[in-house]
Chains A and B, each alone.
Chain A
C-alpha cells in the first residue's frame, strides 16, 4: 500500500503533491482513486470497424449456476429425456432454434433475437477442471483466471487500461442491482459505483420531511466546502462533494428519461430500466453490469427456473425495445453468463446439482447471430457426470474485447485467446 493511503502523518503538502491530479479534476472524475495515473492507451488495438469506444456492453450475470440443458435444450437427444425424468421438456412446449436445439418456453424474446440474426448462442462454455463452489467459480469467471487467485476483474482491467479514452470517468461503468461491487469490475485505478437501486444512489434525506431536504443538503454541502488544513478532512470533503454531485447527476438523468416501454415489476427488469436511463443520459458509460440471483435450483427446479427466465427474457426484451426507441440499440451489446451449468442427470428432489459447461448468449444489432462451438456431448461426460466444455469462456471475453470494445484482449486477459467471430465486421 502506498504511503498516500495512510492518513497518519500525511502532510497537506505531501498529500496535494501526490494527489494533485486527482484533486484538481476531482469533480469531473469522482471514481478515480488516488493512484498515479498510468493510462495505457496502447491497449486499444487497431480493430474492426464495428469496435469503437462509444460502444456499450451490458453484462448480465445469472447467479447460482443456470441450468444450460434446460436453457438451450438438446430436445431430440434421448439421453436428455432419460437423464431428466421430471425436468425434461416435451418437444411441443419448447421454442425451436435448430432441428436439434430449442429454447426454454419462456425465452420468446430470445427466439425473436435469434430469428432476426441478432443473437449468438455459444454452446458448451467452460474451462478445464471446473470449480463447483459458487464463490470460487464466480471469482474465476470474473477474474478470467481459473488457476491464480486475482484481486482485479477482467472488466476492471479493461477500465484501468483505458482510462480517459474520450470519456469522462463518471459512470464509465456501473454495477446495477448488486450488493457491493462484483469482482469483475474491481480495478486498481478506477472505482466503479455500485448502484443497488436508483433510490439508494442518492444523497438520501428524511423522507418524512421532504421540505427540509434543501436545508439538509445545503448544510452538507457547506460543511464539506470548508477550507481544511487537515489533509484527511480535505480529501473526504472533496470526495463527499463528488459523491453528492455524481448522485445528483444520476438522479437528473433518470428523471429526464421518458419511455413508454413497459418493464416488469421484478428487480431485474427494473434494474434494466435504470440501465436504460443511464444510457439515455449520455454519460459516456461503457460497461453496465447487472445480476439476477436464484439459479441454484437444487430442488423443484421447474417452477423457479421458469420464473427466472420469464424475468430475464421479459427484461431484456423490454430493454432492447427501449434502446431501439431511443436510437441507441446500434451501440449496445448484451452478454449473459453464469458461474457454472448443472449436472446432466437430475437429482432426487426434482432439481439439478452443480455442473459445468453451459451456453452463453451475446446479442445486439451488431452481433452476427447463430450457433457457435459444439453443443457438448451428453454421453461423453467427466468423472462427476458433468459435460465437457467445448470452448473456453475467455475466448468469448476476448471476442467481445477485441471486436466490440476495440481493446487488446491478450493484454487484459493476460493470455492469448481466440476470436469466435460473432460480431459483424
Chain B
C-alpha cells in the first residue's frame, strides 16, 4: 500500500521525528515527498546548522550548572535544523536514563548527551560500548566500585534489563558473570580508565558462551543476542510511532537490525516509511512529553522564550532534562497527566500566548495570521492547523469561534473585526485555549 503523501502525514513526520515545525516547514516536507523528507531528516549531517552555534554562543550558558545546562539543550532542540538528531538524542537520554542527582556535575551529564548526539543513529554496538565507558554512566551505575573479587552487578544488570535485552532474556548467572567482565572499568581524573589490576581476567560464561571475556566481549555478545533485535526496535517504534505494536511490525524491524549489522539508521528509515507510522493507530496517540510540548509549541508559533524560564515550567510538568526520576527513564503516557502538571501545561500556554516582548519573551501574533483567513471560523481553522494540526470536533470548534466573537460583557459582539486590539486580545486568547485542549496534549 503506497502512502499518500499529504500535509497531515508530513506534519506527523515532523512532529515525531523532530519537534514539529511551522506550516512553511511542513509544506516544504510536502514538496520533498515521503522519501525525500525521510532522507533529509536522517542524513542530518548534511544540513547546515551554523546558525544554531551562533544562537548558543550568544546566550552564554554556564554549562557547569544544572538549570543553564537544561536551557542550553532546550535551546538546541528549538533552533537546530538537525531536528531528528536532537530527537534521537532525547530518545537515548530516556533510554540510558542517567541523572545529575547522582552525578552532580552538569558538564559530565552534557558529555554523555554529546555521546548520544554523536552516535544518534550509529551502530547499537558502538553505542553500548561507549555508554559502558561513559564517565556519568560509570558513576550512575556504580561501575567504579566493580572490582575483581568484589563485583558490583548494577551496570551488568541494567545493561541487560533496561538497555538491551529486557527482563526474562538472561539469567542471574549471566549478570554475575558479565559483572566480572566489567570489573576494572572505572574512572581516573573523570575519564574512562581500564584498571587492569582490578580486572578479573578469569574465564566467564555469559549466554552459554565461555571465554576470558572483557566488557567489549559482553557488548558483542549482547547485540548478537536474539532478544536485542526485538527489544531495541520495539522501544524505538514505541517512542516514535505507537505503543504495543503488532508482532509482525517488530519482526520486520528485527530483521533490519540483523541485516544492517545493528545500525540504527536503517531501522528508523523503515519506521518512518512504514504504513503503520501513518496509520490511524499512530495519529495523536502519544501523550506529548513536556519537552515535546514546550519545544514544539515555540517552534510552531515562531516564538522566542527566554531559555532560563523554561526549566521551571518543565519541572512543573514533571520532566526535568538531565534528571530522569530513575534509571528506567520517564514512564510517559498518562503519567504526564495529573491536575498539578496539567495546570502547568495550561499556564505555560498562557505564558507563551501572551508573550509581548518583555524579558526576552515574544510571540509575534500578527505575523501568524493568514490574511486570507479573516472570519472567526477561518481563524480558528488556521490556528488549529498551525498548532498541530489539532483535530477537534465541531462542538469544540464552535466553542472557540464563540470565544472569538464574545465581547467583554460575555455577549456576542455586533460584528467581528480583526483590528489590532482584537488580534492582541482574542488571537492570543485563542492560542491559549487551543493549547489547553485535551487534543493538544497529544502528538
Give me the interface of A with B, judged by CB distance under 8 Å: 1, 4-9, 30-31, 33-34, 133-136, 139, 149, 151, 179-181, 191-194, 196, 200-209, 211-212, 214-216, 218-220, 222-224, 226, 228, 232-237, 239-240, 242-244, 246-247
Residues of the B chain whose Cβ atoms lie less than 8 Å from the Cβ of A193: 339-340
The winner among B316, B339, B356 for most chain A CB atoms within 10 A is: B339
Residues of the A chain whose Cβ atoms lie less than 8 Å from the Cβ of B393: 226
- Say whether A136 contacts B101, CB under 8 Å: yes
Question: Does B297 sit within 8 A of A, measured CB to CB?
Answer: no
- Say whether B333 contacts A6, CB under 8 Å: yes
Q: List 18 A-B contacts (CB under 8 A).
A: A1-B335, A30-B339, A34-B334, A136-B102, A181-B340, A191-B340, A192-B340, A194-B316, A202-B347, A208-B354, A215-B429, A216-B429, A219-B399, A220-B433, A232-B438, A236-B342, A236-B441, A240-B436
B144 to chain A, nearest CB (A): 14
- Say whether B342 contacts A239, CB under 8 Å: yes
B173 to chain A, nearest CB (A): 24
Interface residue ranges of B419-443 to A (CB < 8 Å): 424-426, 428-429, 432-433, 436-439, 441-442
- What 6 pairs across the A-B complex have the smallest Cβ distances? A180-B315, A236-B438, A211-B408, A243-B339, A8-B243, A135-B101
Name the CB-closest residue of B to A31.
B339
- Say whether B403 contacts A215, CB under 8 Å: yes
- Say whether A5 contacts B340, CB under 8 Å: no
A284 to chain B, nearest CB (A): 16
- Say whether A180 contacts B318, CB under 8 Å: yes
- Say whether A216 contacts B403, CB under 8 Å: yes
- Say whether A204 contacts B350, CB under 8 Å: yes
Question: Does B406 sit within 8 A of A, measured CB to CB?
Answer: yes
Contact of B410 among A133, A196, A215, A226 (CB under 8 A): A215
Residues of the B chain whose Cβ atoms lie less than 8 Å from the Cβ of A237: 438
Residues of the A chain whose Cβ atoms lie less than 8 Å from the Cβ of B242: 8-9
Question: Does B353 sit within 8 A of A, measured CB to CB?
Answer: yes
Q: Known: A136-B102, A214-B410. Is A1-B339 also a contact (CB below 8 A)?
A: no
Contact of B244 among A8, A135, A149, A246 (CB under 8 A): A8
- Say whether A4 contacts B334, CB under 8 Å: yes
- Say whether A223 contacts B400, CB under 8 Å: yes
Question: Does B338 sit within 8 A of A, measured CB to CB?
Answer: yes
Question: Does B177 sit within 8 A of A, measured CB to CB?
Answer: no
Contact of B285 among A1, A7, A203, A207 (CB under 8 A): A7
Residues of the A chain whose Cβ atoms lie less than 8 Å from the Cβ of B169: none
- Say whether A5 contacts B334, CB under 8 Å: yes
- Say whether A31 contacts B340, CB under 8 Å: yes
Question: Does B28 sit within 8 A of A, measured CB to CB?
Answer: no
Interface residue ranges of B72-107 to A (CB < 8 Å): 100-102, 104
Residues of the A chain whose Cβ atoms lie less than 8 Å from the Cβ of B316: 179-180, 194, 196, 200
B99 to chain A, nearest CB (A): 8
Residues of the B chain whose Cβ atoms lie less than 8 Å from the Cβ of A209: 408, 425, 429
Kindly supply a per-residue 1/0 record for chain B positions 322-366, scoring 1 wherever the CB is within 8 Å of any chain A CB and 0 otherwise: 000110000101110111101100110011011010000000000
- Say whether B438 contacts A6, CB under 8 Å: no
- Say whether A212 contacts B342, CB under 8 Å: no
A139 to B102, CA, bound (A): 10
- Say whether A5 contacts B102, CB under 8 Å: no
Q: Known: A207-B354, A215-B406. Is A6-B337 also a contact (CB below 8 A)?
A: no
- Say whether B338 contacts A239, CB under 8 Å: yes
- Say whether B429 contacts A205, CB under 8 Å: yes
A132 to chain B, nearest CB (A): 10
Residues of the A chain whose Cβ atoms lie less than 8 Å from the Cβ of B410: 214-215, 218
- Say whether B354 contacts A216, CB under 8 Å: no
- Say whether A243 contacts B333, CB under 8 Å: no
Question: Does B196 sit within 8 A of A, measured CB to CB?
Answer: no
Name the CB-closest residue of B to A226.
B395
- Say whether A235 contacts B333, CB under 8 Å: no
A367 to B270, CA, bound (A): 67
Name the CB-closest residue of B to A222.
B399
The winner among B325, B337, B353 for most chain A CB atoms within 10 A is: B337
B92 to chain A, nearest CB (A): 20
Contact of B331 among A1, A8, A216 (CB under 8 A): A1
- Say whether B286 contacts A194, CB under 8 Å: no
Residues of the A chain whose Cβ atoms lie less than 8 Å from the Cβ of B315: 179-180
Residues of the B chain whose Cβ atoms lie less than 8 Å from the Cβ of A232: 285, 287, 334, 438, 442
Contact of B339 among A204, A224, A246 (CB under 8 A): A246
- Say whether B338 contacts A31, CB under 8 Å: yes
Kindly supply a per-residue 1/0 record for chain B positions 390-429, scoring 1 wherever the CB is within 8 Å of any chain A CB and 0 otherwise: 0001011001101100101010000000000000111011
A211 to chain B, nearest CB (A): 4
Name the CB-closest residue of A to B311.
A179
- Say whether B425 contacts A224, CB under 8 Å: no
- Say whether B437 contacts A223, CB under 8 Å: yes
Name the CB-closest residue of A to B315.
A180
- Say whether B425 contacts A219, CB under 8 Å: no
Q: Known: A204-B350, A246-B339. Is A139-B333 also a contact (CB below 8 A)?
A: no
- Say whether A205 contacts B408, CB under 8 Å: no
- Say whether A206 contacts B353, CB under 8 Å: yes
Question: Does B320 sit within 8 A of A, measured CB to CB?
Answer: yes
* Given A9-B244, A212-B429, 12 new contacts (CB under 8 A): A1-B333, A6-B334, A7-B333, A31-B338, A31-B339, A134-B104, A203-B346, A205-B429, A212-B408, A224-B438, A226-B393, A226-B396
Residues of the A chain whose Cβ atoms lie less than 8 Å from the Cβ of B340: 31, 181, 191-194, 243
Contact of B400 among A133, A202, A214, A219 (CB under 8 A): A219
Name the CB-closest residue of B to A8.
B243
The winner among A203, A206, A219 for most chain B CB atoms within 10 A is: A219
B97 to chain A, nearest CB (A): 12
A9 to B318, CA, bound (A): 24
A397 to B351, CA, bound (A): 40
A47 to B242, CA, bound (A): 51
- Say whether A216 contacts B441, CB under 8 Å: no
Name the CB-closest residue of B to A240.
B342
A196 to B315, CA, bound (A): 11
- Say whether A9 contacts B342, CB under 8 Å: no
A194 to B338, CA, bound (A): 12
- Say whether A206 contacts B350, CB under 8 Å: yes
Residues of the B chain whose Cβ atoms lie less than 8 Å from the Cβ of A1: 331, 333, 335
Question: Does B65 sit within 8 A of A, measured CB to CB?
Answer: no
Contact of B350 among A30, A133, A205, A215 (CB under 8 A): A205
Residues of the A chain whose Cβ atoms lie less than 8 Å from the Cβ of B333: 1, 5-8
- Say whether B402 contacts A219, CB under 8 Å: yes
A133 to B108, CA, bound (A): 15
Residues of the B chain whose Cβ atoms lie less than 8 Å from the Cβ of A215: 403, 406, 408, 410, 429
Contact of A200 among B347, B396, B400, B426 (CB under 8 A): B347
Residues of the B chain whose Cβ atoms lie less than 8 Å from the Cβ of A180: 315-316, 318, 320
A206 to B354, CA, bound (A): 6
- Say whether B436 contacts A8, CB under 8 Å: no
Residues of the B chain whose Cβ atoms lie less than 8 Å from the Cβ of A234: 438
- Say whether A204 contacts B425, CB under 8 Å: no
Q: Known: A9-B244, A206-B432. Is A240-B346 also a contact (CB below 8 A)?
A: yes
Name the CB-closest residue of B to A211.
B408
Q: Known: A7-B287, A228-B438, A237-B438. Is A135-B100 also a contact (CB below 8 A)?
A: yes
A87 to B265, CA, bound (A): 60
Contact of B101 among A139, A202, A240 (CB under 8 A): A139
Q: Known: A135-B100, A135-B102, A179-B312. Is A206-B286 also a contact (CB below 8 A)?
A: no
B10 to chain A, nearest CB (A): 22
Interface residue ranges of B122-137 to A (CB < 8 Å): none
Question: Does B281 sit within 8 A of A, measured CB to CB?
Answer: yes
A7 to B396, CA, bound (A): 21
A278 to chain B, nearest CB (A): 15
- Say whether B287 contacts A242, CB under 8 Å: no
